[in-house]
Amino acid sequence: MGERKASNPDILTAGGALTYRAAGVDIDAGNRAVDLIKKKVQSTYRPEVLGDIGGFGGLFGLNTAKYREPVLVSGTDGVGTKLCIAFMMDRHDTIGQDAVAMCVNDILVQGAEPLFFLDYLAVGELEPEKVADIVSGVANACRESGCALIGGETAEMAGFYQQGEYDIAGFAVGVVEKSKIITGARITPGDVLIGLPSSGLHSNGFSLVRKICFDVKKLAVDDAVPELGRSIGEELLVPTTLYPKACLPLLASFDIRGMVHITGGGFYDNVPRMLPNHCAVEIDTTLWPKPVIFSLLQEWGQVAWTEMYRTFNMGIGMILVVPEEQADRVQANLTERGEASYRIGRVIPGSREVILKGGVFGE
């Protein structure tokens, strides 16, 4: 975790005058950043973690006694242009959760328990306190998801990024019993779609969001929006929901036949990814509450509703497909654990179509 690429603290000219620090890379700052994040990182460790911060690779001993045929499931993602909002707000303690959530939620839909996570953070100039804020967000999200933060890279790339800018990407690995991999193959007409709420925009569609908010509506990030009860910048930085805690207990007790993480591409592009060729879904968009930010963006940008549902999660970040006879019990289980859920649709015969009805769709 926090390994530095450079091995020589001083790069000199023939005359011995120029140092690596003078060229824009401060190895001492990198070491300070590692010291600041060390306890946060260690707080995520599971019993399977071997070694500690500072190695060239993260070590994780797979618990083979727990699985007869363990299958590793991996995923990688970034945060995208939501980072621009963090730069504009100069707030960096939430963006790490977005990086974790985009990865662990993706591997979760195949039934995988997240085991460990690695991050890649590239900066123009390394500011230890800012790095600590970012990685603290990563560590907090890993801890909530039950996965260990066992490695990472902080790369100081002088002259490559604008002042104050950075990029972050994440890499998650999970495990699932081979016989319990969720593929969607057993989905059948009559099955029920249960939606789990999103916290808002999550980490998708921000090129459109920024266009609407800052170019069309001419807002500044600290402008208060009465309908939201906070500034537009605070709303846009709300981190992506982490779904492992809500979903993993369901996988052990119910027949979860399909799962969908609603990310870029919204409903129209993501839902078909789990459907067999003989199935389609019908979703009633009136069956769950929508965060206010979506109606504001639609109004401000005069965006067609089909485009809204193709771009954004519209208040549903995860969809579960279950047999109709188990739907009530699945929702009761979620409610008992303090998790909200909505029965939003059903599987029908078809060819992997997504049919939205209700309200703005004229039905």
For the segment 265-291, the average pLDDT, to the nearest whole number, is 96
Q: What is the model's pLDDT at position 4?
A: 40
The percent of residues above 90 in pLDDT, for the chain, comes to 75
CB atoms within 10 A of CB 336: 8
Q: What is the model's pLDDT at position 5?
A: 44
Q: What is the model's pLDDT at position 17?
A: 66
The DSSP H or E segment spanning 108 is helix 95-108
User: Could you give all domains of the chain from N- to C-terminal order, each with its CATH number?
Assistant: 27-180 (3.30.1330.10), 192-361 (3.90.650.10)
CA distance 155 to 199: 31
Confidence label for 36 from pLDDT (cuts 50, 70 and 90): low
Give residue-wise pLDDT tens across range 129-139.
999 999 999 99
CB atoms within 10 A of CB 227: 10
Q: What is the model's pLDDT at position 58?
A: 82
- Tokens 């690596």 belong to 20
- Compute the mean pLDDT over every residue in the chain, rounded to the nearest whole number: 91
- Edge-to-edge order in the sheet of strand 279-284: 258-261, 316-322, 192-197, 342-349, 279-284, 354-357
Mutual angle of helices 128-145 and 244-253, in 10-degree steps: 20
DSSP string computed for 205-272: -HHHHHIIIIIIS---TT-EETTTTEEHHHHHTPPPPP-HHHHHHHHHHS---EEEE--TTHHHHHGG
With H, G, I as helix, E, B as strand and everything else as coil, classify residue 175.
strand
Confidence label for 228 from pLDDT (cuts 50, 70 and 90): very high
The DSSP H or E segment spanning 162 is none
Q: Inform me whether the pLDDT recorded for 34 exceeds 80.
A: no
For the segment 168-184, the average pLDDT, to the nearest whole number, is 96
Q: What is the model's pLDDT at position 9?
A: 45
For the segment 29-47, the average pLDDT, to the nearest whole number, is 73
For residue 92, CA distances in Å to 6, 76, 99, 135, 161 come to: 25, 20, 12, 9, 16
CA distance 33 to 2: 8
Half-sphere exposure of 73 (CA within 13 A, CB side): 24
Q: Inform me whether the pLDDT recorded for 240 exceeds 70.
A: yes
Q: Inform me whether the pLDDT recorded for 7 exceeds 60.
A: no
User: CA angle, corner 43, sides to 80 and 137, nearest 5?
Assistant: 25
